[in-house]
Amino acid sequence: MNAIALLLCAVVTIPSIPDVITRLRPGPPVWVSARSAFNADGDLRDDLFDGRVEFLKKSRDKNVDRCNEYLGTPPLEDFTSKDSLDSLAGYSLTIVKARVVAGDAGFDNGKPGILFALRVDETYKSIGQAATDGTLYLFIGDATIPTAKGYICAKTFSAVPFPAVGDDVIVFCSVIPIDDQRRILHIEPSQQFAVEHAGRVYLPRAIKNLAPANIDDLGALIRANPHLGDSHPRLY
């Protein structure tokens, strides 16, 4: 799993993932790739971040030669239940099955991690204003980003492993995208994400008891769930 993360961080050019993805509302970009985040002196560009530069610098200063300290991803401001397939199906706004086609290291809302490009193969639910055509993106706050002055390191400590390019995933997203194209899905990785990697299906902790043989079997369970059509206007 760590090897996959390091490999993705080492990628120099990934045409399918933009260097910068702007915000729907005024403010700094939602996404900035590691390639674009630093100035000529090796410092984070203040114009691309909002109030997190000093925090990231302090963390980097503790990781001069290696990762000694890891940043965690702050929890989403989302308090919907995620304790069963019924909850995931009912409270999610966007549920998709997709193939991972690329990954890139950078910063999402100032948080370090990997942005994965997803080719959507099936949409089980779409009431959350996410884009319904073209590429979607999934951010996971786990990465090792080398800089000229040390490393910026982050981990999710999730039991669901990082996907690799070519893996199939199912994403349960219960918040509305905030980028201008409505393409970046934000989730709690340990609770809202399943991946089929190397012939094995890894599930969110609340649905481990389901034990599907593959990701398509999990998709069939989602399609058949009686709460899939639920909507919750209070979330909008």
CATH of the domain at 191: 2.40.50.120
Chain mean position to CA 198: 20
pLDDT for 7 beyond 70: no
pLDDT for 112 beyond 70: yes
Average pLDDT over residues 146-159: 92
82-104 per-position pLDDT tens digit: 999 999 999 999 999 999 999 99
Is residue 203 a part of any domain in this protein? yes
Q: How far apart are CA 60 and CA 150, in angstroms?
A: 6
Residue 114: give the domain boundaries. 2-229
Binned at pLDDT 50, 70 and 90, residue 30 comes out as very high
Is residue 235 a part of any domain in this protein? no
Average pLDDT over residues 224-233: 88
CA-based nearest residue to 90, from 123, 118, 124, 120: 124
Is residue 198 a part of any domain in this protein? yes
Q: How many domains does the chain have?
A: 1
Is residue 158 a part of any domain in this protein? yes
Is residue 180 a part of any domain in this protein? yes
Is residue 71 a part of any domain in this protein? yes
State both tokens at 96. Answer: 């998709």
168-204 per-position pLDDT tens digit: 999 999 999 999 999 999 999 999 999 999 999 999 9
